[in-house]
Amino acid sequence: MTVSWATVLAAIEAREAAARADARPSPALSQSIGRRRAARFAALAGAVGCLFGVAGWEAARPAPAASAEVAPVTWSEPVALNIVNDRSLSAFEALPECGGQAPAVRTSYGGIGIGPTLWNGTDNRALAVTFGGTLALSVTADATAPLGTPVVATMGVIYAQGGVVVGYSTADASPVFGALGVDALNPSVGVHARSPFCTGGSVDLADGLPVGDYQAFPVVRIHASPEVAAWRSVIWGPHAAATRTTTDVGPSQAPPGCQVIAGAISAPNVPPECSRAAGLDLTGPTALVRYPVDYYTGDLDLRLVGDPVTFSVEQASVSR
């Protein structure tokens, strides 16, 4: 007899629920929630008072349709994003040079560090592994780091043979946004057979990696800038909230009219359906984007290099 994962998980869930059939949270939990809500209301009241009394209301900002309970978004001045070739979210601010020296391992700087290199979720740096998988790292911060700084962590991989760069890749590397030392920042990157390989001094995706032994150096870029904040707003923040559920904010905080922003900015030929009042203008290769002011508190651009993973390509990765 065979059963699916879903059946097994449902059985575990049912058993656990039955074992706790009479369980209820303690009354202290609801009291804790009440205190948290009271504190948030007090903070909101203070913030609104500050806006009126010191800075004044931002007249250009679209009025939110939400009730007084929703904290208003305070928008930055517009930032010009190059939506065609922006490298703010790339692990490589400048692409590695073919034939150059393999990067030196540097796992910490200024209180910011990276954890052990995980290959497919396991710390097995000492093993020679078969090509194909995922490198992942965690970003750490101690008390000497600029804790709380909103950053993006992105990851790439540099391939080397004999200490010389022979290729690199950012395949499947999603930007991870969060506050340094507060949120979990766990970037990852895919290591694929069809990675670009240096041929004649330049990289060529079509060739792929030849048979041989390689070292894969994980490269993590921890980056904070107005451009990063604008991308965060587009990908995870208010601009994206109209069409996605997994964002930093709720749909009520999406700028009016931004129904296809995420799609529009990743595919510039798609006609945007977003008013200029929302801070986005996609009439050219440069988009003007506002972002919530708490997405940017200062510049940071740090590249850390983790311990390499040794692997081998045992057969031609791409037919020629």
Partner 1 sequence: MAAWRQAYDELVTGRYPALVAYASLLTASPEEADEATRAALVRVFGRLRPPPTSEAADAAVRCAIVARAASGRRSVPDVPRKVEGEPEDAHERLRALDAVTRACVVLRYADELPVAEVADRLRIGHDDVRSRLTEAGELMGDLVDAAAAEQDIMIIDVRGDRGRA
Q: In what order do the strands lie in the sheet with 188-191?
A: 118-119, 133-136, 188-191
State yes or no: residue 293 binds partner 1 (CB under 8 A): no
Q: Which amino acid is at 129?
A: V
- The CA-CA-CA angle for residues 301, 303, 305, to 5°, reads 170
Q: Report DSSP state, residue 62.
A: P
Q: Does 97 bind partner 1 (CB under 8 A)?
A: no
The kind and range of the H/E element at 177 are: strand 176-179
Nearer to partner 1, 2 or 144 (CB): 2
- Residue 136 interacts with partner 1 (CB under 8 A)? yes
Q: Is 100 in the site for partner 1 (CB under 8 A)?
A: no
**Considering beta carbons, is residue 149 or 253 the nearer one to partner 1?**
253
The encoded tokens of residue 293 equal 């002011």
The stretch near partner 1 (CB under 8 A) out of 19-27, 52-60, 77-85, 280-288 is 19-27
Integer Cα distance of 94 and 90 in angstroms: 9
Integer Cα distance of 320 and 318 in angstroms: 6
Task: Please name every residue paired with 311 in a beta bridge, in sequence order, or none if there are none.
Answer: 129, 214
All residues at 6 or more sequence positions from 157 whose CB lies less than 8 Å from its CB, including other chains: 135, 168, 169, 170, 189, 191, 195, 216, 217, 218, 219
Q: Which stretch binds partner 1 (CB under 8 A): 36-44, 143-151, 271-279, 292-300?
A: 36-44
- Torsion angle (degrees, nearest 10) of CA 54, 55, 61, 62: 10
Site for partner 1 contains 176 (CB under 8 A)? yes
DSSP code of 153? E
* Site for partner 1 contains 118 (CB under 8 A): yes
Residue 200 CB, nearest approach to partner 1 (Å): 29
User: What's the rounded Cα separation, in Å, for the pair 19 and 82?
Assistant: 56
Give the interface segment with partner 1, choosing from 35-43, 159-167, 205-213, 257-265 (CB under 8 A).
35-43
Choose which of 44, 80, 179, 318 interacts with partner 1 (CB under 8 A). 44
Return the residue of 83, 158, 189, 209 that touches partner 1, per CB under 8 A.
189
Total residues binding partner 1 (CB under 8 A): 66
Binding positions for partner 1, 239-278, rule CB under 8 A: 244, 246, 250, 252
DSSP states of 243-307 as a string? T-SSSSS-GGGSPTT-SSHHHHHHSTTSPP---GGGT-B-SSSEEEE--BGGG-SS-EEEEEEPP
Structure tokens at 31: 């009291």
Interface map 56-95 toward partner 1 (x if CB under 8 A): ----------xx-xxx------------------------
Separation CA 203–CA 111 (nearest Å) = 34
**From candidates 78, 100, 190, 256, binder to partner 1 by CB under 8 A:** 190
Which of 53, 184, 201, 315 forms a contact with partner 1 (CB under 8 A)? 184
Tokens of residue 223, six digits: 């980056």
- Please choose, out of 74-82, 115-123, 198-206, 276-284, the segment that lies near partner 1 by the rule CB under 8 A: 115-123
Closest contact distance (angstroms) between CB of 239 and partner 1 is 16
> What is the number of other CB atoms lying within 10 angstroms of the CB of residue 319?
5
101 is a contact residue toward partner 1 (CB under 8 A): no
Q: Which residues make up the interface to partner 1 (CB under 8 A)?
A: 1-18, 20-25, 29-30, 32-34, 36-37, 40-41, 44, 66-67, 69-71, 115-116, 118, 120-123, 133-134, 136, 138, 171-174, 176, 183-184, 186, 188-190, 192, 244, 246, 250, 252
